[in-house]
Amino acid sequence: MWKKIFGGGSSNSERTEKAPAGANPLYDRINWQRLPRHVAVIMDGNGRWAQGKGLIRTAGHKAGVKTLKDVLKTAIDLRIEALTVYAFSTENWKRPRPEVEFLMKLFSEYLLKELEEMNDYNVRIRFIGRMEGMPEGLQRQMREAEALMKDNTGIRFNVAANYGGQDELIRAAQSLARQAAEGKIAPEDIDAEAIEQELDTAGDPPVDLVIRTSGDQRLSNFLLWQSAYAEFYFTDVNWPDFTPACFVDAMVDFAGRDRRFGGLTNK
């Protein structure tokens, strides 16, 4: 599965319109002309997955790490340009301290373990959210990972940690207000492009598809600006059970959507 079917991570400009010969049969159902450029995933249901098996919630988080690895690899195979995953929200601090601490430790382990392989696959990792709110050691690891992969040209992999869509917009507004107060920009210069440039996802295409696992149908403060015209795909499958085949199901569903963007046709 995690084979370099397409010769490893590559930029979207090299994206083929068809699956190359010898590709994984899992991808037979893919419509290569109608794949999303930017997929966002709300990885939900780890706790419910664990509870359903009589395990403690944190066992679900651990199992979810493997799913994330498989989904990232699938997205690379499909030459998705950007993948943004929701790992920890600004609201998740409300959880019991041991669970929060477990998650922070898991992120740190994940980075240590997966860094080199991600780099080999030409992944460009970026952490979105209020990084300074994370434990210091983890912040250092995050910055190092970003620095290591900053020039990679493959998938843009955004990990949302201590992220909230409203918080991101507040930070953007404050930065623009500061620039206006300093006379660097005029209030009229603040347009959609100026706001986008201030967001943590600056430079990425808009989100085409938001996937949320585990049955709830809400955004939970994820990518509020970026998802303005996204399609939504909800599945009852809990995140640890979300396989590459489930990801392909979402791609097939997306290919059948009629995206009109306010017009009358999708052209």
Q: How far is the CB of 103 from ligand IPE (least distance, A)?
A: 6
Q: CA 159 to CA 218: how far, in whole Å?
A: 19
Q: How far is the CB of 160 from Mg ion (least distance, A)?
A: 14
CA-CA-CA-CA torsion sign (135, 136, 141, 142): positive
Tokens of 121: 């696959």
Which one, 36 or 45, has the nearer CB to ligand IPE? 45
Binding mask 98-137 for ligand IPE (x = CB under 6 A): -----x----------------------------------
The residue with its CB nearest to Mg ion is: 44
Q: CA 62 to CA 133: how far, in whole Å?
A: 22
CB–CB of 72/103 below 8 Å? no
Query: Does 44 help bind Mg ion (rule: CB under 5 A)?
Result: yes
Q: Using the rule CB under 5 A, give the single segment among 38-46, 121-129, 130-138, 191-199 that binds Mg ion.
A: 38-46
Task: Kindly state the helix (H) or strand (E) to which residue 234 belongs, with its residue range.
Answer: strand 231-234
Binding mask 175-214 for ligand IPE (x = CB under 6 A): ---------------------------------------x
From residue 137, alpha-carbon distances to 72, 111, 132, 143, 235 in Å are: 25, 12, 11, 10, 35
Q: Which of 92, 119, 122, 221 is catalytic?
A: 92
Identify residues 46-75 at the interface with ligand IPE (CB under 6 A). Answer: 46-48
Active site residue 119: no
Active site residue 238: no
CA-CA-CA-CA torsion sign (226, 230, 235, 240): negative
Q: How far apart are the first and last CA of the chain?
A: 35
Write out the E strands in 33-118.
Answer: 38-42, 82-89
Q: Is 29 annotated to bind ligand?
A: no
Give catalytic residues, as residue numbers. Answer: 44, 92
Residues in binding site for Mg(2+): 44, 231
Residues in binding site: 44-49, 57, 61, 89-91, 93, 95, 212, 218-220, 231
